[in-house]
Structure formats: structure tokens, C-alpha cells
Amino acid sequence: MKKALQNIKPSTLDSLRSSFHNIQTSKDADDLLVHLCGINDFFGSEHDFLFFLELLEPCHIVSEDLERREFGDFQTPSILSDLVCNILLKENLIPETVVEPTFGKGSFIMSALKAFPKLKQVYGVEIYEPYCWFTKFAILELFIENPHLNKPSIFLYCKDIFGFDFSRIGKAAEKEKVLVLGNPPWVTNSELSTLNSSNLPVKSNFKSHNGFDAITGKGNFDIGEYIILMMLNSFAKQSGYMAMLAKNSVIKNLIYDLPKTTYDIYDMAALKFDAKTYFKASVEASLFKCRFGRNSLQYICKASFLNSPNLVESEFGWIGHKFVSDVALYQNSRDFDGTCPFIWRQGIKHDCSKILELKMEDGKFINGFNEELILEDDLIYGLVKSSDIQSPLITKPRKYTILTQKKIGEDTKYISEKFPHIYGYLSKNIQFFSERRSSIYKGKPLFSIFGIGEYSFKPYKVAISGLYKKPSFSLVMPFNNKPMMLDDTCYFLGFDDISEALIAVAILNSSYAQDLLRAITFTDAKRPYTKDMLMRINFFKIADHLGFKDARKLLIHLPDDILQYVTGEKWNAFFATYRKDREKEYQGSFFETVPIQQHPAFTP
Ligand SMILES: C[S@@+](CC[C@H](N)C(=O)[O-])C[C@H]1O[C@@H](n2cnc3c(N)ncnc32)[C@H](O)[C@@H]1O
């Protein structure tokens, strides 16, 4: 409360001193305050009221820098919350009830009070008590300065949203136009677990991901996403709107899961804004907007910019059974959207780069602590990382990695028997392995790694970085007669025959595959390219359109000693073999099939 009062203007404090001059009890104070600013139960207790009177004494009001970001939260600047409310106003989305599920310092509540002339009620929840006081006094100041402003009844709860019952508010506002407004926390469940924070819903695995999804990151979700779904569950059946700031990844997930839910929402839009400017945050974010009360027949979201909301830049969402990032672009590529006949694999994951990733200097291996090492060569392989996948042909590694296993879960006792130097080195640094936070390493053999299997040892690989915006595919050659490894930011296909790898590179770098990837990937995601995306590339359809001659042209920049392996016979044989295998697949064998991700509907 002290901090909140420090934020208030001297003229407001003078006004409060004179208003509270004769007030003796918290009950009288609360009655006066509901009249002054609409907030019910402003103090709620005698103790808080007496503290307030004490703070009103002039000696307590000392100015202090209030900029703080606890809970990893991002308070919305008023310029942005005002802009959002004005956009809603212009679109005639005028609410009678506003619900701000995590109101923080109250920026959205203040903007709503100023913007919406027909407001009757405002409900807000916030876990952090100093912010609750901050908001109360900011609202009080607003009405002291603007006594003729429409004054709704305001209910502010200093509570944990995950235990809060919104159904009461839903009932109270049943007949009203409700606006769910705000900016829920920007933090993921895995960030919270790193912070040992319990600020999570009870059902923190609400999408029912299995433990293995931790490896691919699928089990990770944003708390903000959970809160938005909570709000849709509570309010989407009635008439009204939602306008919430969120990371683009959260909005994408929301639209992705929409067909599996029963939310009555329509007219979905994502209005991009620059999170760096408003929040000093390097994240792609938008205002998510939708209307309540009717089920959308199309699960598509319009994308535009907050400063030109009516200029639709693109649309993303579901076209039949396919989820796409650009509906218009996809029209030309939908023929190539199918099932890849090969299994894309992710590179090696070990979370121990300082120990397991080495560089070579003057013929010596050096680890991440710049220690020179003497190690047996046998378990050391060339390593290609995302930053290396810039050129179309990779023949030499920049780094090396120690492979402690050849398949997941393999017993690692053999290292001590066969490779004493490597064993000594790993044992000396065992604490770096035991400090690995991910649960995937729990209960596994010493020095375990993931993303390893028979496929890792294929000599010729076609690789892409999952992190870069442009989908460029490189041919990775063996080095010193050993296959090179990729790190876990990369995906690859492995081949025994160099000709097959070359044909795959040509197909993947063709405009057909590139256009398809542009139409289905979200380049603003942290990892735009994932196994799920790559498994959609229909090699055979692309090969039919491309033809051998154009495919070869795409490889013409490669040295002759490599290009010689691309022949018409190899092209025909390649497709003949895989077409035959594919026919077998239809009879129910051979290739792994890739099921579409299925989440159960959200039930908080
Ligand atoms: C991104 S900030 C935005 C605050 C405010 N909505 C705004 O737009 O400025 C998220 C807010 O959520 C609050 N918060 C975090 N976890 C919460 C929880 N479990 N229950 C209620 N509020 C929570 C934080 O304290 C923080 O104020």
C-alpha cells in the first residue's frame, strides 16, 4: 500500500486527506470509497484502513522508483491498453461488464473505465497484493480527478486465479455484454519449474502430453494459454468479446486446438504489436480478439497489425484437416501436403555441451572449459549445429561430440571397460550430468543421451535447422569415414546411398517444397520447423512435378565428384523402390505412420 500511495499525485493525496479527515472506521471508509470510485470493500479490514491513515501523514510520502518486474510479469503500459480499448470502441465492441483475470497494476481496468461509457461492472483478480493496492489507488485517483466519469461497480480480488471461481461472475453478468480483457502472465510451465515456482494450475498437464514430449518440447505450455482457455470456458457461452494480449505461439495453439473444443467463439483476429517497444521483451506477440456466443464455422484467424487493425495481412488456421500458417499461400501448395515417406529425426540431445561438445585445436580435443583432453577416438564424431547449416554441402565438422550410447537407454558400463580415457573424463565431470534438470535423464544409465538410434549412423544426411526462418536443406557428408551427427536444434533424413540423399536435397530445396513449408510453418515461432511439419512433405507428388532434369539443375552448384551420383537411372530406381514400399505401407506394414496430434478438450 505504501508503494501504491507513493505513486499518487500530491493533489490526490490532499483530496484524500480532506475526505478522510473525519472518518473513523473501515466500514465508513469503504462506504465513502464506493461512492467516490465504485470499488467495493476497498479496505476490507480495520488494520488496512488504519495503515492507510498512517500513510496519509505527509512524512510517509517519499517518491521511489516503482519499476519492477516480479513473477516474470510484464505490466502493460497505459498507452497500449488505451490503444486496445479504443480499437474495441471503434469496432463497436462496447461492454457492460469487464473481467480482467490478472489485473496487475490495473492498466486495462483504467483504460476500460475511461473508454467504455456503458460499463456497469468491473471484476478483476490479481495474486500480488502490492499491485492490488496500486490499482485501487489508481482508480480512486481517476475518479477524484474525473468525478463525472461513468462509475461502475468494481470488485477487485487479491487472489490466485487458479483457485478462483469465475462461475459466480458468469452468473451475475449473464445478461450483460462481457468483455474479457487483459494480459495474462507470459511464462511457461517449464520456466516455472526451473524457478521452483508453484504458480501453476492444479492440472498442469492439461493437454495430457506424455513424458517423452518433454524431449520435443510439446509438453511445454504457457500459463497465459491456460488462463485464456479458463476465460473461454467461463464466458464464451454468453454474449460478449475477448481481447487479450498473448504470445503468438499461444494464439496459434488456441486456434490449433479449436476444432477439438466446444467454445462458442467466432471472428478471431490476431493484431501484432512490437513487444520490444511496449514490454522490452524479445517475443512475437499480438492482441487476440474474438466474439462470444456463436460457434465459428471456420477455424481461421485473421492476422493484422495493431496500428492498422482493418488491413488483414494474412489468415492462418484449419483448411479441412490441415493446419496452415498462410491460407492464401497454401492454395497453390495443398497438393504437396501429405505424408513424407521417410521419417524425419531430431539430432542428439544431451544438455551437457560443456563436457560432450569438443573443438579440435592443433590436433587436440578441447572442451567447453578450454581444457585439453586426451580421449579415445572411437566414440567421437563430427558434429553439425544449426549455425553450420548455411551452405548446401557440409563435408567437415566445426565441432565434435562424444557419443556415449548407440541407442536410447543402452547400458554405458562398456565405456569403463573399453575406453578408460573417456570414462575417466566423464566420471571426473559427473556432476554436470547429474545437474541436468530434464526428467528424461532420471533413472537412465550414467551419461545418457537422447535423439540417438540406428538412424544416427546413416552416412549421408539431409539436414535443416529447426531454428532458422528460411527452410534451407544441406547435404551432410561423412567425415573421416564416420557419419557426422546433428545437434538437437536440427532435423534430418538419413540415407545409405549418396544418390538418394542428393535426390532428397533437390526435392526439398525445390520451389514446390519451399512454398509448402512457407504456407504451413510459423516463422515467428522459436522453432519454426518441427518434425510434424517436415513429415507433411509429399516427396512423390513433388518429384512428379519437378522431374529429373529440374531436380539436377538444383544441384548444379555441387562439385562434380558429388554431382556424378545424380543420374536418371538413380532417380527412377529411387522412386520405384519407395513407391513399392509405399504400396506395402497401404497394406499395413513397413513405414511408421505419423498420427495427427490429438489433445483432449480442455476441462479446467
Ligand atoms: C503479464 S502481467 C499483466 C498484468 C496486467 N494484466 C496488465 O495488463 O498490465 C501478468 C499478471 O499476472 C499476475 N499473476 C501471475 N500469476 C497469477 C495468479 N496465479 N493469479 C492471479 N494473478 C497472477 C502477475 O502478478 C501479473 O500482474
CA of 467 to the centre of ligand 1 (A): 30
pLDDT recorded at residue 69: 36
Residue 599 in any domain: the answer is no
Q: Is 103 close to ligand 1, i.e. is its CB under 6 Å away? A: yes
User: Which residue stretches of the chain have pLDDT < 70?
Assistant: 58-72, 190, 192-197, 203-219, 581-604
One domain, residues 78 and 53: no
| Residue nearest atom 23 of ligand 1, based on CA coordinates | 127
If you write DSSP's letter for every residue of 423-455 in order, what string do you get? HHHHHHTHHHHHT---GGGTTSPTT--BS-SGG
Pocket test for ligand 1, best of 102, 125, 273 (most atoms within 8 A of CB): 102
First to last CA, the chain: 33
pLDDT given at position 439:
84
- Work out how many domains the chain is built from and give that number: 3
Cα 482 from Cα 167, distance rounded (Å): 62
| pLDDT score recorded for residue 209 | 54
Q: Are residues 461 and 545 in the same domain?
A: yes
**pLDDT for res 284:** 92
pLDDT at 310: 87
Q: 125 CB less than 6 Å from ligand 1?
A: yes
For residues 110 and 174, membership in a common domain is answered with yes
Whether residues 364 and 243 share a domain: the answer is no
In-domain check, residue 65 = no
Give yes or no for residue 102 CB within 6 A of ligand 1: yes
Q: Determine the longest span between alpha carbons in the chain, in angstroms.
A: 98
327 within some domain: no
Is 598 among the domain residues?
no
Alpha helices in 121-274 (DSSP H): 129-145, 167-172, 189-194, 213-216, 223-235, 248-257
Pocket-testing residue among 68, 70, 126, 228, ligand 1, by greatest number of atoms within 8 A of Cβ? 126
Residue 440 sits in the same domain as residue 395: yes
For residue 139, what is the domain's CATH number?
3.40.50.150
Residue 75 alpha carbon to ligand 1 centre in Å? 8
Residues 150 and 299 in one domain: yes
Both 306 and 351 in a single domain? Answer: no
Among protein residues, the one with the nearest Cα to ligand 1's atom 13 is 102
In a domain, 393, yes or no: yes
Cα(523)–Cα(435) distance, integer angstroms = 33
Domain presence at residue 213: no
Angle at Cα 423 formed by Cα 422 and Cα 425, nearest 5°? 65
d(CA 495, CA 497): 5
Q: Are 106 and 151 found together in one domain?
A: yes
| H or E element that contains 378 | none
Tell me, yes or no, whether 200 lies in a domain. Answer: no
Ligand 1 neighbour 107 (Cβ under 6 A): yes
d(CA 258, CA 245): 18
Same domain, yes or no: 230 and 269: yes
Q: Which of 15, 34, 60 is the last residue of a domain?
A: 60
| Residue of the CA atom closest to atom 17 of ligand 1 | 127
User: Does residue 554 lie within any of the structural domains?
Assistant: yes
CA–centroid distance, residue 130 to ligand 1 (Å): 12
What is the predicted pLDDT for the residue at 8?
Answer: 81
Domain encompassing residue 486: 345-586
Whether residue 113 is found in the same domain as residue 156 = yes
Write the DSSP string, 526-594: SS---HHHHTTB-HHHHHHHHHHHHHHHTTTTS-HHHHTT--HHHHHHHHHHHHHHHHHHHTT-SSPP-
Q: Are residues 74 and 55 in the same domain?
A: no
> Is the CB–ligand 1 distance for residue 534 below 6 Å?
no
Among 34, 60, 86, the domain-final residue is 60
pLDDT given for residue 71 in this prediction? 59
- Residues 481 and 529 grouped into a single domain: yes
CA–CA gap between residue 556 and residue 559 (Å, rounded): 8
